[in-house]
Amino acid sequence: QQPVQSPQAVILREGEDAVINCSSSKALYSVHWYRQKHGEAPVFLMILLKGGEQKGHEKISASFNEKKQQSSLYLTASQLSYSGTYFCGTQTDSWGKLQFGAGTQVVVTP
Amino acid sequence: NAGVTQTPKFQVLKTGQSMTLQCAQDMNHNSMYWYRQDPGMGLRLIYYSASEGTTDKGEVPNGYNVSRLNKREFSLRLESAAPSQTSVYFCASSETRQAKSTNEKLFFGSGTQLSVL
């Protein structure tokens, strides 16, 4: 089952913050986050394992709430380079294949 | 470091034609994957290969075949292309050493934009 991402799109000004959510109908083993710039390949940001840990990449961080079966990606003090489409990928067990969400398009303007 | 290399970058086919998408990685990764990306659908797994000599179906395998030629190369074949196969195709690889995944991150190629008329 494909995870659900929200919002579908967000427009920010430089320096603003945003939150992207990724929800699953099944219990999760792990959550991956990737960013894809227009016309390019998706690039890995971070993996979160069950246990509620929080990780960071530059000023981008994420949390994993096992009970709620969801993960949130936090874009803090956004930069122009943060523009792109963010995908979450979820695993329901250790060898479950990643199921990717439909993506959240982020546009950061000057 | 080349990483994951896909060819071709663009391809236009007529319905019923066949073609093979090539993928090679130079990171000595064990696992390789083929995804398709459609607007509003995210990335969907077509086939994967956990190790050299093995291949398994993903979410959307119908209409495709794969070959893991050696550890480096993983090709995707469309035997009789259909308009529904118009998509952007990504090859990816991960280190994954064991049959059980340890959540290895994926490295993606730059993609192949395929149009089937």
Which whole number is the average pLDDT over B71-80?
96
**Residues 25-64 in A contacting B (C-alpha not used; CB under 8 Å):** 30, 32, 34, 40-44, 47, 49
Of A88, A90, A29, A96, which Cα lies nearest the Cα of B101? Answer: A96
Which of the residues B88, B91, B96, B103 would you substitute to probe the A interface, choosing the one with the greatest number of A C-beta atoms within 10 Å? Answer: B103
How many whole angstroms separate alpha carbon B91 and alpha carbon B112? 9
With bands split at pLDDT 50, 70 and 90, how would you rate the model's confidence at B100? low
Q: CA of B63 to nearest chain A CA: how many angstroms apart?
A: 20
* High-pLDDT (> 70) share of chain A, %: 91
Contact B31, B102 (CB under 8 A): no
Q: How far is A29 from chain B (nearest CA, A)?
A: 9
pLDDT over threshold 90, residue B64? yes
Shortest distance between the Cα of A16 and any Cα of chain B, in A, equals 26
B89: which 2 tokens?
Answer: 């195709």
pLDDT at residue A86 is higher than 90: yes
Determine the pLDDT at residue B53: 87
Q: How far apart are CA A77 and CA B89, in angstroms?
A: 33
Other beta carbons less than 10 A from residue B24's beta carbon? 20
Residue B61 near chain A (CB below 8 Å): no
Q: What pLDDT does residue B93 have? A: 93
d(CA B16, CA B116) in angstroms, rounded, equals: 9
Quick one: which H or E segment has residue B13?
strand B10-13
What confidence tier does A53 reach under pLDDT thresholds 50, 70, 90? low
Report pLDDT for B98. Answer: 57
Q: Are strands A104-109 and B10-13 parallel, antiparallel or unpaired?
A: unpaired
C-alpha pair distances (Å), A41 with each of A63, A86, B96: 24, 12, 20
- On the question of pLDDT at B99 being above 60, the answer is no
Mutate to test the interface with A, among B30, B38, B43, B88 (most CBs of A within 10 A): B43
